[in-house]
């Protein structure tokens, strides 16, 4: 019985002691927060004025003074150095010209290059005439062209025969620049005709006494023996 009362009173005393300690620390914390808020409020209200401010408002920062003429001369020297250190690249010749105050003038040179690529030159299409005073002729005649034809085995096997028409573009030197198939019969005959005409040489065509480019259609026969 005695032990029971002893434990009971001990627990009550322990609870009271802990409660008092808790209240003590609570009030200490509250006082600390109030002092901190007062300090913060004071720092904001002070606004940097007074003896504790970083820069005293009564003190004025003075910069070293420089004469106007000396400043202008230094700026001119700096501009001259910049021009000498960054020269303008020229395209070989410097343009010279004369002008008037109204925005007009003349020049006698291409001027300075600004590094832009030159525009591509327009492609000039070659003109091949259709009818001239003297039409191109194969050197050695059509007999030479026909003698160079190799009859394709596929055409022989399938009994293909006929005439292939090739449009030849002959320049002023008598060379065939390009060929175009206008009528074919198949079986490999079209390719054989184009190949022989492209490798042939021609007597160039003439118009009004000068050699010109001419397009001429040439028939190439394929006959089974």
Q: Where are the beta strands (DSSP E) in the chain?
A: 97-99, 105-107, 137-138, 162-170, 176-183, 202-203, 205-207, 210-212, 214-222
Q: Do the bridges between strand 202-203 and strand 137-138 make them parallel or antiparallel, or are there none, so unpaired?
A: antiparallel
Q: Rounded to an integer, what distance in angstroms lies between the CA atom of residue 139 and that of residue 158?
A: 33
Q: Rounded to an integer, what distance in angstroms lies between the CA atom of residue 183 and that of residue 167?
A: 9
What's the pLDDT score for residue 185? 95
Judged by DSSP in three states, 167 sits in: strand
What's the pLDDT score for residue 95? 46
Per-residue pLDDT band at 36 (split at 50, 70, 90):
low
pLDDT of 137 above 60: yes
Closest Cα partner for 150 from 201, 200, 192?
A: 192
pLDDT of 107 above 80: no
Where do the domains of the chain lie? 1-34, 137-222
The pTM assigned to this predicted structure is 0.46
pLDDT of 49 above 70: no
The CATH architecture one would assign to domain 137-222 is: 2-Layer Sandwich (3.30)
What's the pLDDT score for residue 176? 95
Produce one character per residue of 122-155: b if its CB has 16 or more CB atoms within 10 Å, e if not: eeeeeebeeebeebbebeeeeeebeeebebbeeb
Give the pair of three-digit tokens for residue 140.
Answer: 């050695």
**Better-predicted residue by pLDDT, 90 or 24:** 24
| Whole-number percent of the chain with pLDDT over 70 | 60
Most confident of the following: 69-78, 85-94, 182-191: 182-191
């Amino acid at each position: 019985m005695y032990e029971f009362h002893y434990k009971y009173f001990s627990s009550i005393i322990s609870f009271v002691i802990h409660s008092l300690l808790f209240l003590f620390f609570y009030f200490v914390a509250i006082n600390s927060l109030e002092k901190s808020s007062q300090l913060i409020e004071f720092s904001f209200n002070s606004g940097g004025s007074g003896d504790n401010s970083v820069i005293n408002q009564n003190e004025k920062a003075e910069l070293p003074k420089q004469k106007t003429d000396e400043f202008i001369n230094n700026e001119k020297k700096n501009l001259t150095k910049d021009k000498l250190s960054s020269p303008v690249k020229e395209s070989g010749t410097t343009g010279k010209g004369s002008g008037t105050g109204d925005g007009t003038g003349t020049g006698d040179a291409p001027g300075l290059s600004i590094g832009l690529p030159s525009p591509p030159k327009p492609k000039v299409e070659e003109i091949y005439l259709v009818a001239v005073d003297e039409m191109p002729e194969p050197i050695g005649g059509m007999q030479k062209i026909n003698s160079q034809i190799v009859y394709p085995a596929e055409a022989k096997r399938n009994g293909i025969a006929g005439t292939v028409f090739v449009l030849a573009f002959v320049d002023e030197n008598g060379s065939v620049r390009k060929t175009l198939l206008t009528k074919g019969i198949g079986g490999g005959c079209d390719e054989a005709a184009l190949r022989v005409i492209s490798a042939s040489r021609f007597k160039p065509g003439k118009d009004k006494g000068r050699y010109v480019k001419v397009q001429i259609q040439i028939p190439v026969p394929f006959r089974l023996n």
